[in-house]
Amino acid sequence: MRCRVCRDRAAVEVRRHNAAFCREHFVEHVHRQVERTIHEFDMIRPGERLLIGVSGGKDSLALWHILTALGHRADGVYLDLGISDYSDESLELTRSFASERGLSLEVVDIKESYGFTIPEAASRTHRTACSACGLSKRYALNEAAVRGGYDVLVMGHNLDDEAATLMSNVLNWNVGYLGRQRPVLPAKPGFVKKIKPLLRVAERETAAYAVLQGIDYEVAECPLVAGNSLNRLKEWMVELEHRSPGALSQFVGGFVRDGSALFEEESNVDLHACQRCGRPTTGEVCAFCRLQLRATEAR
């Protein structure tokens, strides 16, 4: 298999583009996809301060690398979720990545900041570990961005993540979530702007990018992820992509272009300040504070 650009031996095949690339031209291809996404959705404006949520995994570290290569200075924030050796190892990889490149990294220990670890939250509440983790990450990352005076929170969700989330939201007809599933969530009082520049980069491509760029990332899977329904959907969607290359980008791209506006009204809900933390919520006490109360109440 030969590189579409230079005819050298290919390192990565991208079937949905009916192409293969050598290392150098694959890196260029990924950079072009991300740059195009940032430009098309007006994700980053001059002078905006960027904070990227980094986990030590391939997507967030690859994205941090790509943003830097494209000339976008971003600081990183790592959430220590307290998942035993897995969190320690992921933190070490993230620290090494940042220090080798002279990038600024803040570490937020959620036990110190909020009083519980993810395993504790999962065992003390009715939520699954992944649900408690997702809710905590959304809250703590926004908090870190607000606290640090950042304008933009950058997330490493890739094409497969977005496709699986979209499929989950369709299967459950979560119309409110469908209205909020966009490449850019504009800033609102209490929330910084959130962007997803890897929208056009498949999961396999972020992994290939990381390997080809010599990025040492956490290859092990989170020990709490077993049975995660979104992961099952991702496995199913990879099978779909294998049988029908381009299916995921059509699904997500079509939704972003034509579908999400149909649900916009559903996402316009009345928000007011959480009685506990002051962040916007639809109820009296926000979902994160309810989780925190249950996870930290006296045993």
Partner 1 sequence: MKVILRHPRREVEVEGPLTVGTLLDRLDIVPESVLVIRGDELVTKDIRLSDEDTVEVRPVISGG
Are 69 and 33 a contacting pair, CB within 8 Å?
Answer: no
Are 145 and 234 a contacting pair, CB within 8 Å?
Answer: no
> Contacts with partner 1 in 133-172 (CB under 8 A)?
133, 160
Specify the residue, 158 or 281, whose C-beta has the smaller distance to partner 1. Answer: 158
Q: State yes or no: residue 5 binds partner 1 (CB under 8 A).
A: no
- Shortest CB 174 distance to partner 1, Å: 19
- Shortest CB 275 distance to partner 1, Å: 30
| Dist CA 34 CA 32 (whole Å) | 5
Q: State yes or no: residue 13 binds partner 1 (CB under 8 A).
A: yes
Instruction: Annotate each residue in 14-43 with x if it binds partner 1 (CB under 8 A) or - if it does not, as one string.
Output: -x----x-----------------------
10 Å Cβ neighbour count for 2?
A: 12
Q: Which two tokens stand for residue 118?
A: 């993810």
Specify the residue, 74 or 208, whose C-beta has the smaller distance to partner 1. Answer: 208
Specify the residue, 221 or 264, whose C-beta has the smaller distance to partner 1. Answer: 221
| Dist CA 8 CA 21 (whole Å) | 8
**Coil, helix or strand for 240?**
helix
Stretch that binds partner 1, among 5-13, 37-45, 109-117, 118-126 (CB under 8 A): 5-13
Are 217 and 60 a contacting pair, CB within 8 Å?
Answer: no
Specify the residue, 18 or 275, whose C-beta has the smaller distance to partner 1. Answer: 18
> Contacts with partner 1 in 196-255 (CB under 8 A)?
202-204, 206-208, 211-212, 219-222, 225, 228, 230-231, 234-235, 238-239, 241-242
**Coil, helix or strand for 10?**
coil
Q: What are phi and psi of 222, to 5 degrees?
A: -55, 130
The 8-class DSSP code of residue 162 comes to: H
Among 27, 57, 75, 114, binds partner 1 (CB under 8 A): 57
- Shortest CB 191 distance to partner 1, Å: 21
Are 63 and 198 a contacting pair, CB within 8 Å?
Answer: yes
Among 33, 43, 54, 58, binds partner 1 (CB under 8 A): 58
Longest dimension (CA), the chain: 65
- Shortest CB 163 distance to partner 1, Å: 12
- Shortest CB 136 distance to partner 1, Å: 12
Is residue 194 within a helix (H) or strand (E), and if so which, with residue range?
A: strand 193-195
Q: State yes or no: residue 174 binds partner 1 (CB under 8 A).
A: no
Is residue 195 within a helix (H) or strand (E), and if so which, with residue range?
A: strand 193-195
> Contacts with partner 1 in 256-295 (CB under 8 A)?
none
Cβ partners under 8 Å of residue 274, min gap 6: 280, 281, 283, 284, 285, 286, 289
Q: Name the residues that contact partner 1, by CB under 8 A.
A: 1, 10-13, 15, 20, 55, 57-59, 130, 133, 160, 202-204, 206-208, 211-212, 219-222, 225, 228, 230-231, 234-235, 238-239, 241-242
